[in-house]
């Protein structure tokens, strides 16, 4: 699946990043970074255009392997994101320990915005933590204009969710990523957030 996602992305007219979820079993594979390097060579996709997404639970299951794996992936130039941030038991410690490029805030904290005060506080705190650590913050599961406006006011730089578009078959993704202009609805930032391939 990773090979297919990279092969698709390298053919896009626009050089967007492609995000692929990594299973806990893959993180535990000592040869995983080598496999990623092989796929990048085979497909010709620049490493900086690949973003691998790991859940905290998967990292905790393979914490003995994660240090070395992340170091080798970063050496390749691949970007690393923590997916579903806030749903684990030691998120802050995990952020401190591993070299992430991005925090993806779990949709469960976005769904209640802006009315849910606890969710609002968690989002606000995560944005502050991200800025302090030099990490990009992305809010998942945005579905309404009200949620988007809250995130904009709180300084969250990017978002994804049904507000921007639902998952599409490859043929429709190709039509979007090969357009000359910016696709979809306007996002929180002036430049478009990299497209997420549905092969994750």
Q: What is the mean pLDDT of the chain?
A: 87
Q: How far apart are CA 23 and CA 99, in angstroms?
A: 18
Confidence of residue 180 (pLDDT cuts 50, 70, 90): low
Q: How far apart are CA 190 and CA 135, in angstroms?
A: 18
pLDDT in tens, 82-121: 998 988 666 688 888 899 999 999 999 999 999 999 999 9
Architecture of domain 2-177: Alpha-Beta Barrel (3.20)
Domain boundaries, given as residue ranges, for the chain: 2-177
Nearest partner of 83 among 100, 59, 64, 106, judged by Cα: 106
pLDDT in tens, 124-142: 999 999 999 999 999 999 9
Span of 6-20, 53-67, 88-102, 175-189 with lowest mean pLDDT: 175-189
Q: How far apart are CA 81 and CA 137, in angstroms?
A: 10
Map residue 99 onto helix, strand or coil: coil
Map residue 52 onto helix, strand or coil: strand
Q: Which residue has the tokens 């990279």?
A: 6
pTM of the predicted model as reported, rounded to 2 decimal places: 0.85
Structure tokens at 60: 């905790």
Nearest partner of 148 among 199, 115, 187, 90, judged by Cα: 187
């Amino acid at each position: 699946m990773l090979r297919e996602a990279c092969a698709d992305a390298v053919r896009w007219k626009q050089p967007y990043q492609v995000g692929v979820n990594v299973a806990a079993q893959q993180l535990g594979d000592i040869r995983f970074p080598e496999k990623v390097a092989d796929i990048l060579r085979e497909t010709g996709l620049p490493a900086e255009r690949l973003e691998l997404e790991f859940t905290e639970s998967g990292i905790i299951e393979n914490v003995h392997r994660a240090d070395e794996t992340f170091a080798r992936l970063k050496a390749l130039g691949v970007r690393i994101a923590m997916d579903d941030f806030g749903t684990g038991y030691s998120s802050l410690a995990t952020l401190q320990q591993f070299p992430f490029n991005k925090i993806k805030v779990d949709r469960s904290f976005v769904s209640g915005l802006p009315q849910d005060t606890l969710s609002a506080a968690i989002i606000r705190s995560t944005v502050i933590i991200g800025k302090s650590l030099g990490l990009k913050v992305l809010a998942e599961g945005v579905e309404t204009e009200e949620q988007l406006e809250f995130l904009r006011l709180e300084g969250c730089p990017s978002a994804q969710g049904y507000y921007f578009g639902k998952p599409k078959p490859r043929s429709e993704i190709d039509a979007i990523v090969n357009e000359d202009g910016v696709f979809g609805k306007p996002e929180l930032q002036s430049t478009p957030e990299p497209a997420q391939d549905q092969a994750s």
